[in-house]
Chain A
Amino acid sequence: MEDTYLELYLDRCTAQDELPPPKSPLISLVGSYDVYLPNPSNPEMAFSSHLDVRESSGDFSSVDLSFLPDELSQENEGETVIGSVDKIDKTCKTPSPQRRSPSPMQQDVGLDLNGSGVPHSQAPLYLDNADSVQPSPEEPTSDPLASITPMKPMTPASECSGIVPQLQNIVSTVNLACKLDLKKIALLAKNAEYNPKRFAAVIMRIREPRTTALIFSSGKMVCTGAKSEEQSRLAARKYARVVQKLGFPARFLDFKIQNMVGSCDVRFPIRLEGLVLTHHQFSSYEPELFPGLIYRMVKPRIVLLIFVSGKVVLTGAKERSEIYEAFENIYPILKGFKKAAVSHSASHRI
């Protein structure tokens, strides 16, 4: 059973090498919330949860954003969705930024499986038929899904975590391109606070999406607190609109996401002392200063804070896919420290 799975997996990898990336719809795991994907070894669990979620998919079609030429996307500058999807095309191991609706946990690898010669019933891995791009609920062979990361042969699918980091904070900047009178803004706007002795910017807040903005007299603005890229963009536009209504010729230039913070939980304790020993080039663990281990991943350039309880905070990303990729990179490493057996720790020098 393992062999046929491995064959299939490798077949797919070689096939993918030949196909040009944009042709294959590569929408993989969806959901921007911390979801624990059912283990492939529990088929009934996977099956039932898959069906549950599928009903709510509605008219959702596996939107293949890679097909969209850039001009069709609303605004190139702020549109990180397309950018990150392109990235996903290349890496193909990160969940896609499909945030429009809670779509079914679909893993559509997008290859022609008809020629693969692996019968569905035997393979422990359940795959959707690549031909049917629409995840219609009436699909008879609606097999439970499993996660596959085809582009990276080094991580076999059985190690894919099934956990999706949840975005907690997005920091973005935008240029309103006009000089602002901060005193006037603080006077005319209810949601603004301005204390020039403390900080040289107006701090403005809006309720929906719940965010905070720092507006400087040069016209530059920083927007923080949003939970997704689109929310950040919407919030920034609302702030710009407020400034416009106050009588300034504000524009909306160079919207850029500067930082994204995500968090998730691997749900098992981690031996931080062991991790710092084996990954000393990347890790910094000083319990006298901070209870967590600071892991500076090189590719992608993300900083992870790993705690003994198994909670992981990922920060420093400019795109959502970087956070997902970083987590998929760290998960196998963390799993290596899951077996916190006494015998393992007794061999450590204390």
Chain B
Amino acid sequence: MTINTLAKGGCHREQMACFRKMEKVIVAMQDPDMGMKMRNQRLLITVIPHAMTGHDIIAWLTHKYRISEEESLHLGNMLVKYGYIYPLKEPRCLVLRPDESPYRFQVRPLTIYLAKKNIRKQGELMEYEKERYSLLHKRINHTWDFVVMQAREQLRASKQRRKADRIVLECQEQAYWLINRPPPGVNNVLDTGLERPNNFSCRVTLVSDFIIEACRKALGRNRVKSSICLEGFLKYSEQYLNHDPIMQGCLPSNPWISDDTAHWTMNAEIVPVPTRLRVERWSFSFMELLNDAMGRREFMTYLEKEFSAENLYFWQACEDIRHGESSKIVEKVEDIYKNFLAPGAARWVNIDSKTMDKTLEGIKRPHRFVMDDAQMHIYFLMKKDSYPRYLKSDLYKNMLAKAIVPQETKKSVFPFMRRQRHSSPSPAQTATQAAEEEGLAKGAGANSAAGSHF
């Protein structure tokens, strides 16, 4: 983008893709047939040739990319901010104005410099300069004439110092420096954040191995036809459409829009009566039911009636091992064995003999995933058997029947007063209180804070 970066041999990686794309836009704008119509633009009393108005730029972008004027203004602004187009009026301010303000295409200083030199001293460019020159020529092929013209203009201007040319030159330079040395308060568009990636040349063989291994595995996998997979997306989006507040709104109102937290209160983790949408969602998948605290509680009640609650208790205990502290694994595995797997256990779970044998063997050396097979077996048992029956049960149907459908709140008008936004207790606060209460109840020192379980 600048002489410096070109000299160093390259721009920041992530910006390369953007610059190439912006150049594409600029090149399209300069296309002799479909590009912008440039003409003489008036700047006070001076006439500047080969210029265009802000209004024209926006109109061209709107038409070419079929976008809104607002988006064209934004895109055009980016082109100005990055210096591809510079303003002739108020050159200190790199902003695209949607009016008759004149603008011109910026040509890279290096390009002009080399072109100037070439014109001045035909064929006397240094070797590396020649290379650069031809490289640049290839890159900006159809704007080459424009470059040569710019160079000629500059040479002429320095000889004759015509006012128009001087203005153009000043503006050009101004834009250049604004980008490279942005004044305080202006975004530095060349700021790209942290340098990345890191150098990994030493890992090349390791990675090639990895790729080969991954490819071999991938070749062996079972794939599903696209038509089946894609139908799945349609079904899912349709099923959840009414539950998506951004798509369909939410009842009684979206708290962020109305400042009313009723929606959250009604959908708190445990409520006396859940909303209809929430209860409906339990029927979408077994996971939805289990992920909702109230849903899980209801399901447990149903299983108690069916005398198969041990399955859910077992599943929960296994989850606790998988996601709990490493230090408690051994003790928890022992508890599970005692309560669920040992012969005559109080809550004995019915696992097939193969899985049971494997699990009992694994318990001898307990680790985080030792219960995985057994847990999955019970999970799928509940999913295929108990869950569908629960959905057909009176327990579920009654729950659905008495579930609340909140009234939509009409947007209240408070002409003189801003609605108060109520704060809510932080989960950390609740945990602190709970821990304190526990401490008091145990009669131990009540100095425990939320951080104590770490």
Instruction: Please say whether chains A and B are actual partners in one complex.
Output: no
